[in-house]
Structure 1
Amino acid sequence: MKLFSRTPGALRAVAATAAAGLIALTVSACGANAGSGAAESSSPGPDASGAAAEAFPVKVKSVYGETEIKEEPERVVSVSWVNGDTALALGVVPVAVPKVTWGMNANNSTDWADAKLDSLGAGKGSDKAPTFFDEPVGDVAYDAIADADPDVILAAYSGLTKEQYEKLSKIAPVVGPGVAAYGTPWEQSTEMIGQALGKSAEAKQLITDTEATIKKAADANPQLKGKTFIAGNFEPNQGGINVYTSADNRPRLLTALGMKEAPVVKANEKPGAFFFNYSAEKADELDSQIFFTWFPEGQNKESIEKDKLLNRIPAITKGGLVGTSDNQLLLSVSAANPLSLAWGADKIAALVGNGADVVEGK
């Protein structure tokens, strides 16, 4: 979202900025180097709902107050990948979005964003394709955003600070974060963006459809129901385990799939924090049936299982360590939005479901 991958290690390195660092990825950017030149306008897609247009002006609340949008936006710019994806899911092509820099595909984009852009007639090289700009780590690309001449700036899911929000507001109305520091649930950011674009009815339906997609994935993997889990990542060289809390998208999805967050997580999480660090010396206290993680380069399931401290985690001793080295797959849940969840929820459910089968001895 910087996302989007939000990685505790990265956050420490860049002072909690675009947080999502490694695994979650910078949870705040979204895009691919797919277009050259800004699109004429943020065009509604051919599959946009025929619902009656909402009356403007509209006011959207965020952690920094209330933003008034006087007229239906024609030129939309996104701060973060999630917000741009959500606009696309609502049938609106932004004129400019940040490049995807973690978990990207061969196009420096994502498979779900590419597919939606193509369906809206705004694929790579087309006249309607958005401009993709570089977003500095922990900061905002003010010049690139200003050059796009936006009518509205979407940052509902972001790590935008009050200072950054106020500076951006001098360019155009800003839909600020619903919850600070990349904490806005995808449902809330979808509602906020729908309101800003005059598409509240469509946003409501989009949330319903996405929830149905997640339920379908859960129904296809009934062994997940009631299983306790911990989501986190390992930093063996630093002697620690980063555990994600209910403020993070990964645990949110696993919970929506019918799983239960382990009591040890609730006992140690702090309000507003999306992760906490746990000493590997106390690994045996991280009790759950499933431990869901991501394997960065140089790390894999076998290396964790052989670690003399980490392999004392109860889920690992039971065969319940579930992980992926597919960065795009992880991005789909760490930078969760209706498009990414439609692409990845069933894949995550099947992956974790396989781990649940092992735990059950199947």
Structure 2
Amino acid sequence: MNRRAILSIGLVAVAGIAIGCSGQSDEPSGAGGAASAEPGELPVTLEHAYGSTTISETPQRIAAVGIGDTDVLLSLGITPVLVPAWKGSVDTGIGAWAQPSLDGAAGPPVLANAVADFDVEAVAAAAPDLILAVNNAIDEDEYRKLGAIAPTVLHAPDQTDWMLPWQDVTTRIGAAVGRPQAAAERIASVENAFAAARADNPQFAGRSAILVRAMPNDTFRVYSPTSARGQMLTELGFTMPAQLRDRFGDALYTDVSAENLALLEADLLVIDNYDASSERLNALPTFTALDVVRSGRMVGLDAVTSDAVSMPNPLTIPFVVDDLLERISRTSIG
């Protein structure tokens, strides 16, 4: 068995590893149920931009409002009573990477427009005793409305919407449900797999890579290395090319116009949701003339992997890394 196959197996196993030291089961409960809290971990108080939230006892009905928060819950053996939808390859709020965690059960009800103007009444209708909106952009008015329904957990006060390290999201959700040790073990397993991927691919170290999305009017959106999408390449050992490093500031991305596509030159170019724009890109001379494209160092992601890469967590990362390594292996730097 080759190293890539071993890595793939190890990553896929992350969602199901046992919590040996805690003595808690990780078997997913039915919708609305929750795995038992680890001894002594509740109550817990979590600070956020609008104050703090205290969870006093093991929640039994958790509504996930943050994108990817569902996956973290499932990786901890908890099935939420409500899941957020996103505009992507599915509208059920459950990606292909999370389906095995449901073990054939039907998915929970879906909160539509979760990253825009979602219906707070739909959250209330799920009758949650805890609301997770960690990976979302929640303003104070929305927080007050959600908090009137149930204790609501947001990201830490010093963090920026959509630029959350996946480890922090997993840690925070683990703390909120009283399973910090389980969350730490999930994180350690994924970090060990990343380390194995870097060791198996030393050619990535110090090489430049960017992930972009083709926008209307031949504009290209380049994602910051601290954004959700950018984190995956950084974890694999890649860096941002010099000509782009100072263009982000605190922003998630920077847009590059068609006449400035030379800025996209890198050792590796990853195109988000390539299938949706491939025909247009192949007809754009300034794109096809890029050395990174002509030299076979471009990787195009399909819609499902593009969804997964936008929300790194213990379930999506195994899915993405396996696919991304295979695609990179077919380029001239693989």
Normalised-by-shorter TM-score class? 0.7 to 0.9
The yes-or-no answer on 1:322 pairing with 2:302 is no
Contact 2:219 2:258 in 1 (8 A): yes
**1:138-196 Cα deviation digits (max 9, x unpaired):** 12321121111111111111122222112211111111133332221111010100110
Q: Distance in 2 between matches of 1:240 and 1:193?
A: 36
2:272 corresponds to which residue?
294
Q: Which position in structure 2 is the counterpart of 1:79?
A: 65
Q: Which residue of 2 aligns with 1:117?
A: 102
Offset of residue 136 of structure 1: 5.4
Instruction: Write the mapping of 1:83-98 to structure 2, written as runs, cut at 5 A.
Output: 83-98=69-84
Cα displacement (A) at 1:217: 3.3
Aligned residues: 303
Tell me whether 136-145 or 189-198 shows the greater mean CA deviation. 136-145
Q: Is the 1:218–1:224 Cα contact (8 Å) retained in structure 2? A: yes
Q: Distance in 2 between matches of 1:261 and 1:43?
A: 40
The 3-state SS of whatever aligns with 2:110 is strand
For the residues of structure 1 that align with 2:49 and 2:120, how far apart are their CA atoms? 21
Q: Displacement of 1:303 after TM fit?
A: 4.9
Look up the match of 2:21.
Answer: none
Question: Match for residue 211 of structure 1?
Answer: 191
* Distance in 2 of aligned mates of 1:147 and 1:101: 22
Amino acid at match of 1:173: P
CA distance in structure 2 between the partners assigned to 1:87 and 1:113 by the alignment: 10
Q: Would you say 1:200 and 2:162 are equivalent positions? A: no
* Residues 267 and 318 (structure 1), Cα distance of their counterparts in 2 relative to 1, 3 Å cut: farther
Q: Which residue number corresponds to residue 170 of structure 1?
A: 148
User: Could you tell me which residue of structure 2 aligns to residue 284 of structure 1?
Assistant: 262
User: TM-score, with normalisation over the residues of structure 2?
Assistant: 0.82
Alpha-carbon deviation of 1:134? 2.6
CA contact (8 A) 2:61 2:80 kept: yes
Q: 1:285 to 1:99 in 2, by over 3 A?
A: closer
Instruction: Report the aligned-residue RMSD.
Output: 2.5
1:71-118 CA deviation, whole Å, 9 max, x = no partner?
22111110034001101111111122124551239x773222110111
Letter in 2 for 1:294: D
| Structure 1 consecutive aligned stretches of length 4 or more whose deviation exceeds 6 Å | none
For 1:156 and 1:143, how far apart are their aligned partners in 2? 19
Question: Structure 2: how far apart are the matches of 1:181 and 1:108?
Answer: 20
> Residue 343 of structure 1 aligns to a residue in which SS?
helix
Question: Per the alignment, in what secondary structure is the counterpart of residue 330 of structure 1?
Answer: helix
Cα distance between partner residues in 2 of 1:113 and 1:87: 10
After TM superposition, the structure 1 stretch with the greater mean CA deviation from structure 2, 220-229 or 152-161, is 220-229
Partner of 2:203 in structure 1? 223
Of the three residues 122, 137, 142, the one matched with 1:159 is 137
Preserved CA contact (<8 Å) 1:223 1:353? no
Identity of aligned residues (%): 26
Task: Say which of 229, 237, 243 aligns to 1:264.
Answer: 243
**Aligned position for 2:9:** none
Identify which range, 329-338 or 60-69, moves more after superposition. 60-69
Return the alpha-carbon distance in structure 1 between the equivalents of residues 213 and 68 of structure 2. 22
Matched, 1:43 2:34: yes
Matched, 1:138 2:116: yes
Match of 1:62 among 24, 27, 48: 48
Letter in 2 for 1:333: V
- Distance in 1 (alpha carbons) for counterparts of 2:282 and 2:332: 17
Gaps of at least 5 residues in structure 1 are 1-38
Q: Which residue of 2 aligns with 1:342?
A: 318
Equivalent residues of 1:224, 1:356 under 8 A apart: no
Deviation at 1:336, TM superposition (A): 1.2
Q: 1:257 to 1:297 in 2, by over 3 A?
A: closer
Structure 2 CA distance for partners of 1:201 and 1:279, relative to 1, 3 Å: same
**Cα distance in 2, alignment partners of residues 242 and 229 from structure 1:** 14
Letter in 2 for 1:252: Q
